[in-house]
Structure 1
Amino acid sequence: MFKKILFATTASPACDAAAKIAFELAEKYKSELILYHVFGVPSHGSSFSITDYLTGEKDDAGPDYVEWVKDEMKNTYATLIEKHGEPRFEILAGIPSTEILRFARKEEIDCIIMGSHTRADETGAARFRGIVGTTMQKVAQRARCPVLIISRPCATCFWYFNKIIFGTDFSKASMSAFKFAFKMAESIGCKLYLFHALDIDTSQAGVSPGQKSIEDKIAAARARLEKEYVSQMNDFDNYEISIWEGVPYVELLKFARETSGDLIVMAHHTRDIDPDEALLGTTVEQVVLRSACPVASVNRPDRL
């Protein structure tokens, strides 16, 4: 499934949930696991000093410092290393998002795994939403491979995924997400849910559409799901179509909880624009922050 998995980590408690899944997936699929840590922004002079991008503190970043960081990472993940095997470590200075993307392209990484944020804030904190707009936002925006984002410990997805939920709004970008979701479900042999949330428009004088209108829209959405996605699945029949009406991210999260979904796959964005210019879509951003299971953001079909 994945030849190379890149786990981008700050080696802080905020990345613990992502670390567990990264190690487990790598062992399950016999992938090469690379632990990638960018420890600070280098100075513009000739010295080896760096500024830690989390604390703002300055350090001398010579070879001894790099080895010290590597030893600290080994200590941090000692339990996982003992259980699943030692990964490859890559540690350097730079801008985190830039270095992660550069390394992923150079090494032809098949999947990037990372947490949704870098600091252990409470999920309900007012500033929590803003944290998503930094490293993870930039990596998901420009990555040429799927980005698996884990914001909480996953209670259901041990070892591998049993139930994959593909959430679509029928945008062009959603096709790449579908191909990834289907390929995973087919390879694993697990169930694939094709989910669409019908966003009922009540903006016209505050009048909600009638039941007949809603049923017609649901029937049209089902027909479109079958035409655009089911038609590409050949003999694969372990799937289910679900269409709910309401606020898209709310309904998708409710559906994932009800079905005990192990993985949600979504397009990184919904508008038909250059992926390099597309910001993380509102729906996927809200799902990432609130989902109890990992969320795969798919930007391009390059490495599916």
Structure 2
Amino acid sequence: MFKDIVLAVTPSAICENAAEKAFSFAKLFDAKLYLAHVCGLEQGWGEIEYLESSGATARIKENIEAYYKDRIAGVPHCEIIVRAGIPHNEVLRLARQKNADLIIMGPHTKEYTEKRSRMWGMAGSTLERVSQRASCPVMIVTNQAPAAQRFGHLIAATDFSDQAECAVSYAGQMARHYRASLTVFHVLDKGDLDTAALQAAQADTVARLREIYEPRLAGIANHDFQCLVGDPAMEILGMSQRTETDLIIMAHHSKEKDPEQAFLGSTVTKVALNAACPTMSVNKHFDLRCGLMYDQTGQAVSAEATA
């Protein structure tokens, strides 16, 4: 399904969960995997020339190769790329150059555990910028997930924006490809509505979900639409726990029309930082590059078997 994967990585345990997911996908899908590390510009613009001329980038590449040596050996197509520059620019440039269909990222700070409530909330952070401008979906992996990926149940949250419609469509492609179940839902703000009005609003919302998204979910045997009430991030996390979700798919920002002005929404931030499963950020319409079909255990299935 994924053919060219970019993993933004550091040679340490900080990105271990994201790395495990990337190596697992590369083996499962026989995909090309690009381990990308970008030396930032903490010392100023002159640091780029210094890092390259001093051989620092070559040494970092050797460190990465040594750190991931055993796992690299199990991936037929793996390349380590170390560059000096602005991290989000270089990750995005590499994804374009390699025609990547997935970027995988995790936390890139040693203070992640203590500061995760604030992490990625700052405008201009690497993850925000990559999610904002990526030419492919971005999978955010912050917690440990099964290495052998099983896509049995997916959830897609929507706020009815154009970007959310792209996220739901992508979720539909994945559910159809894996023959997985899919729940599409919207979270209402209770506001000042009384019980009767709230129940009516929920029923209307479910009807709207079905009207808008049902045509995009043709061929998915097990899918449903729900409307929840409360805080969006908390309800999405609750839904993922109750349904033992394998992947959460969301638009990378809310109703901001100009992607150049939009950053990772607070709801996506909270979900990505706290979800037990990976969160996929989708910012536009993408098509899966599907060769084989896969069942819910991740095993390849012949075309005849899927007919």
Structure 1 residue 122, shift from structure 2 partner: 5.0
1:5–1:34 Cα contact (<8 Å) kept: yes
Find the partner of 1:158 among 139, 144, 148. Answer: 148
Deviations 1:209-238 (A, max 9, x none): 222111111111111111111122223222
Find the partner of 2:93 among 91, 97, 102. Answer: 102
Runs of 5+ consecutive residues of structure 2 not aligned to the other structure: 289-307
| d(CA) in 2 for partners of 1:47, 1:212 | 62
| d(CA) in 1 for partners of 2:134, 2:16 | 22
Q: Match for residue 206 of structure 1?
A: none
2:172–2:220 Cα contact (<8 Å) kept: no
Q: Match for residue 298 of structure 2?
A: none
For the pair 1:264 / 2:264, whether they are aligned, the reply is no
Structure 1 residue 86, shift from structure 2 partner: 5.7
Deviations 1:111-158 (A, max 9, x none): 11001x3113353x3x3233213111111111121110011111x563
TM-score (norm 1): 0.86
1:11–1:73 Cα contact (<8 Å) kept: yes
1:37-56 alignment runs, 5 A limit: 37-41=37-41, 44=45, 48-50=49-51
| d(CA) in 2 for partners of 1:96, 1:37 | 8
Structure 1 residue 66, shift from structure 2 partner: 3.2
Q: Match for residue 58 of structure 1?
A: none
Deviations 1:55-76 (A, max 9, x none): xxxxxx3474333222211222
| d(CA) in 1 for partners of 2:46, 2:228 | 57
Structure 1 residue 263, shift from structure 2 partner: 0.5
Find the partner of 1:87 among 66, 78, 85. Answer: 78
Q: Match for residue 264 of structure 2?
A: 280
Structure 1 residue 91, shift from structure 2 partner: 1.1
Structure 1 residue 106, shift from structure 2 partner: 2.3
Q: Match for residue 9 of structure 1?
A: 9
For the pair 1:69 / 2:60, whether they are aligned, the reply is yes
Q: Match for residue 176 of structure 1?
A: 166
| d(CA) in 2 for partners of 1:167, 1:45 | 44
1:28–1:160 Cα contact (<8 Å) kept: no
1:150–1:294 Cα contact (<8 Å) kept: yes
| d(CA) in 2 for partners of 1:18, 1:282 | 21
Q: Per the alignment, do residues 224 and 82 of structure 1 end up closer, same or farther by CA in structure 2, a change over 3 Å counting?
A: same
Deviations 1:142-189 (A, max 9, x none): 1121110011111x5632422111111111210111121111111112
Q: Match for residue 216 of structure 1?
A: 200
Q: Match for residue 291 of structure 2?
A: none
2:48–2:85 Cα contact (<8 Å) kept: no
2:151–2:247 Cα contact (<8 Å) kept: yes
For the pair 1:255 / 2:239, whether they are aligned, the reply is yes
| d(CA) in 2 for partners of 1:25, 1:32 | 10
TM-score (norm 2): 0.85
SS of 1:277's partner is coil
Q: Per the alignment, do residues 199 and 69 of structure 1 end up closer, same or farther by CA in structure 2, a change over 3 Å counting?
A: same
1:107-126 alignment runs, 5 A limit: 107-115=98-106, 117-123=107-113, 125=114
Runs of 5+ consecutive residues of structure 1 not aligned to the other structure: 51-60, 203-208
RMSD: 2.1
SS of 1:275's partner is coil
1:145–1:303 Cα contact (<8 Å) kept: no
SS of 2:7's partner is strand
Q: Match for residue 129 of structure 1?
A: 117
Find the partner of 1:190 among 161, 171, 180. Answer: 180
Q: State the one-letter code of the partner of 1:147.
A: V
The percentage of counterpart residues that share the same residue type is: 33
1:24–1:158 Cα contact (<8 Å) kept: yes
Q: State the one-letter code of the partner of 2:110.
A: A
Q: Match for residue 30 of structure 1?
A: 30
